[in-house]
Chain A
């Protein structure tokens, strides 16, 4: 007799509130459903009550982890709407800031993965050494999270030669951390044992559910907006799209670990080739019309749609976040998985429910309830 198991909504192990309804037989998950909406804040409505400039801070607060990339995508879309060309230097600076954000987001994910696998030593090391990026952000932008660095028409703070030197120094200290993470993922690593073969998402299934970002790249699909539809200065920078074939949690981890090296490569190149000039231009008037912009967030493809009626307040803003696209991959990966692995699988897409809770999917049927602790 299959039994229903509920995870959440308020469980401190999962960083944010959400609710999973698993249909379990013995130890095996047969079917999975999810209920969202605990983080729903009505952001898309709020977007239409503020000016284009004020919306930057709102876009930033969709998600507190990949906050910078939201403002970048929003600003780029609005720039197209206004017909503003961003200075070359600002494009390079945007790449630097966003790759630093990718580094901090990926390291945070490894920290959470270590936490969910009960590798406390690895957790403490990764989270502790990751601090250096947060300090760097504070030094460069004035805040550790929610850095308010992008603006419509460019960036708000420049990178001086001494700041560039500091960034290089931080990258030098981060390389050993990436090496350490790679050692956890090699054949004898502690992560490998617990993640190999867990939560497999085959290539065709990944495409079918519309997964994006590292989740998709972990299933053998080379898809990266930075290469496919270059924005900022990515078309002038040399980097590789990391792909792993296996589709399990281990492959997703490997994709992220190898991407940290690529991010460092991008930052170093951008610092070396930083062109002189202004860092921002004055924004113009928005034209009547609509625009779609997309970027590669740390978690995958992020899409903004903005419709303008010519006033200083947007008429409609629609956000499609990567976690929303990846949620359907979780449900696919959970099927056939052992109940004990459920948490690892859920964390493997790096879910960010603050991002996702825009659409409320409610489907709670009455059934036998049992709260289990996921360990």
Chain B
């Protein structure tokens, strides 16, 4: 491939991705060693690097710039704003993501991506291998990269989706399974999900090479089984969450309920709709009376 000339275009981001692209120019990262130069006019460029979610005001300029880029006209979206609008998703002046306006070839997720990730991604696009030591790629402990969900630990409660700052985590209830989906192309990597998770199932790892050509593929999923109601048979709640709650309440908080473990478990397996029906109230009432008497006894 001929010399790569990059033109940067920023529209409605926070500027951090731009700083990281500039950072790639310093000798330590050596973007220039890959035969890449950053040019100041779109007419001289053949690669367009986009950052930011795209605003109404920048739309015309973006289309003009795209027209002026020389073939092969490769467009790379750097950072999550330019992939999915990220945290600015519902902002009123935001019209992006830019792939709605112009065709985008590659996406580099991150908020912002590390310079190492940008360098590696550009090298991958060019088909070049970078000779660097282990030390260069290493991330420190506690680095906030791509998520990992431990299928054993995850109870499917959806606390991560509740706290998520950018609506990156979805909870999708199917007929039998619940899917917890982390769209890391939409993520701010704030790690609130990691802090909030009651079972430490979700964790941000040191994986940061996330180059993709399909933004929809940028996700991590976990499936949990849903419990079916013992009366109507419909699914309503993750199985593991009930077990977790039961364990917490019966075994840890109120040990005297231990004898009634099975009774409570059985009544928890009735879905809210059935629980409200008159014919089922009697059964619940007996259980509650037993439990309260048991709790009152010294």
Contacts and interface: CB of A to CB of B under 8 A. Distances in A.
B112 A146 contact: yes
A43 interface: yes
B94 A41 contact: yes
A65 B57 CA distance: 23
Contact of A38 (B39, B57, B166, B204): B57
Nearest to B110: A143
Interface size for chain B: under 10, 10 to 19, 20 to 34, or 35 or more residues?
Answer: 35 or more
Given A57-B166, A128-B27, A146-B14, A40 B93 contact: yes
Interface centre among A17, A62, A138, A142 (most CB of B within 10 A): A142
Given A57-B165, A65-B16, A143-B143, A127 B26 contact: yes
B19 interface: yes
Interface string B43-76: 0000000001101011001000100000000000
Interface in A45-82: 45-46, 49-50, 53-54, 56-58, 60-65, 67
B8 interface: yes
Interface stretch (B190-198, B216-224, B229-237, B239-247): B190-198
B20 interface: yes
Interface stretch (B83-91, B258-266, B271-279, B280-288): B83-91
Interface string B15-33: 1111110110111100000
A13 B144 contact: no
Nearest to B12: A41
A15 B40 contact: no
B4 interface: no
Interface in A281-300: none
A159 interface: no
A139 B142 CA distance: 8
Contacts of B57: 37-38, 40
B63 to A, nearest CB: 12
B26 A145 contact: no
B161 to A, nearest CB: 12
B257 interface: no
Nearest to B45: A12
Most buried by B among A12, A49, A131, A354: A12
Interface SS of chain B:
loop
Contacts of B7: 12
A64 B14 contact: yes
Interface in A2-18: 9-13, 15-17
B139 to A, nearest CB: 7
A13 B53 CA distance: 21
B144 A128 contact: no
B111 A146 contact: yes
Contacts of A58: 87, 165
Among A50, A108, A144, chain B packs the most CB atoms within 10 A around the CB of A144
B159 interface: no
B15 A354 contact: yes
Nearest to B187: A57
B67 to A, nearest CB: 13
Contacts of A13: 40
Interface in A151-189: 156-157
A266 interface: no
A352 interface: yes
Given A57-B165, A148-B192, A354-B14, 19 more contacts: A10-B61, A12-B7, A16-B18, A17-B58, A38-B55, A38-B58, A39-B10, A41-B93, A45-B91, A46-B88, A54-B163, A54-B165, A54-B192, A63-B14, A64-B14, A64-B19, A127-B22, A143-B144, A145-B112
**6 tightest Cβ-Cβ pairs between the two chains A and B:** A64-B16, A57-B165, A64-B15, A42-B91, A64-B14, A142-B144
28 contacts: A9-B58, A12-B7, A12-B39, A15-B19, A39-B13, A40-B93, A41-B55, A41-B93, A42-B92, A45-B92, A53-B163, A54-B192, A60-B188, A61-B87, A127-B22, A131-B28, A138-B139, A141-B142, A142-B140, A143-B143, A143-B144, A146-B14, A146-B112, A148-B144, A148-B190, A148-B192, A156-B195, A352-B15
